[in-house]
């Protein structure tokens, strides 16, 4: 088995779906596996001239390869069925390619009810947090306990085989349950360590694709966006609304020290920085470094400055504009 991993290096919404799609399009992968999260995630995909938004379903279904919702995810089978139907109505063949790990935990009605009570930290109200809570309290239910279709034993499927797996992460490093800005985090591990927990030996990993934007966004209750007009402009030009909640994303400059930390702890080999076209239109290039704002006058200054710091950590950097390609 060989595996590559796609992880977010900020607070989600970095265009991981676009990166995953392009890697699958160019590569020779036999499997694609979502390794964390649930319906609280949202990946935007442009496929054959159409826009798609997936939540639980791995991007591999667009290429007709085995697409697995891994053990690190929690699954709502009711909303999963609706997501399948929506994709099939748009012309995709989903059911024959979609599988769910027998070890993935199930979101049940009780979890949705608990989530409605609210925690005050920006839940998507999808029952995800309560389902993970029961998982770690050892009172949850695994998918394998039910008579669901398309269940799979990941170990039997992938080990002792020539499988090439692309592991698709949700959310991002700054939302990781252990490394994020607690308690303003998600309920699952968003790092490459979370990918390994889905039954992937670390020796199988060839490359880690770390994804970020040339600015940062956050959806939630904490104060993240400074009171400056430029961030309103960034949000407007970048169309910054949550793909799952529809809530406006708060914007801020890239945190360079945070990006370096995320890249190091994820052993990132390939760094992709998205939405360069947004800042090109806004006309400002700035980063946070050591808790102060550094003004970089031009796009070239920005790319060179970022490269001078990040090439000490990663092997390759790609700066990307379009939502359609890398």
The residues annotated as belonging to the active site are 13, 43
Q: Are 57 and 87 in contact (CB under 8 A)?
A: yes
Specify burial of residue 284 (Cβ count, 10 A radius: 0-12, 13-18, 19+).
Answer: middle
**What's the angle, vertex CA 289, arms to CA 283 and CA 291, rounded to 5?**
110
3 bridge partner residues: 165, 205
| DSSP-derived secondary structure for 90-115 | TT---TTTEEEETTSEE--HHHHHHH
What is the distance of C-alpha 207 from the center of its chain? 16
- Phi, psi of 296, deg, nearest 5: -110, 120
CB of 73 within 8 A of CB of 36?
yes
């Amino acid at each position: 088995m060989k595996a590559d991993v796609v992880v977010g290096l900020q607070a989600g919404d970095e265009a991981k779906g676009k990166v995953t799609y392009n890697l699958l399009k160019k590569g020779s992968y036999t499997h694609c596996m979502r390794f964390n999260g649930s319906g609280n995630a949202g990946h935007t995909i442009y496929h054959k001239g159409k826009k798609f938004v997936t939540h639980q379903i791995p991007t591999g279904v667009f290429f007709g390869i085995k697409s697995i919702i891994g053990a690190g995810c929690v699954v709502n089978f009711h909303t999963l069925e609706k997501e399948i139907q929506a994709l099939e109505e748009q012309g995709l063949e989903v059911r024959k390619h979609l599988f769910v790990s027998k070890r993935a935990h199930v979101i049940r009605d009780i979890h949705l009810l608990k989530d409605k009570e609210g925690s005050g930290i920006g839940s998507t109200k999808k029952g995800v947090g309560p389902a993970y809570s029961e998982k770690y309290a050892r009172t949850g239910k695994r998918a394998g306990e039910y008579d669901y279709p398309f269940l799979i034993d990941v170990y039997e499927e992938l080990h002792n085989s020539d499988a090439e797996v692309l592991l698709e992460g949700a959310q991002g490093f700054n939302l990781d349950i252990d490394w994020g800005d607690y308690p303003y985090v998600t309920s699952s591990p968003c790092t490459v360590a979370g990918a390994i927990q889905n039954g992937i030996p670390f020796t199988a990993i060839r490359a880690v694709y770390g994804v970020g934007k040339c600015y940062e966004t956050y959806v939630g209750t904490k104060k993240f966006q400074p009171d400056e007009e430029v961030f309103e402009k960034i949000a407007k030009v970048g169309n910054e609304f949550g793909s799952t909640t529809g809530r406006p994303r708060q914007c801020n400059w890239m945190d360079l020290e945070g990006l370096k930390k995320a890249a190091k702890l994820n052993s990132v080999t390939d760094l992709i920085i998205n939405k360069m076209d947004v800042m090109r239109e806004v006309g400002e290039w700035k980063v946070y470094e050591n808790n102060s704002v550094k003004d970089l006058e031009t796009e070239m200054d920005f790319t060179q400055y970022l490269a001078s710091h990040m090439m000490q950590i990663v092997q390759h950097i790609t700066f990307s504009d379009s939502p359609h390609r890398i």
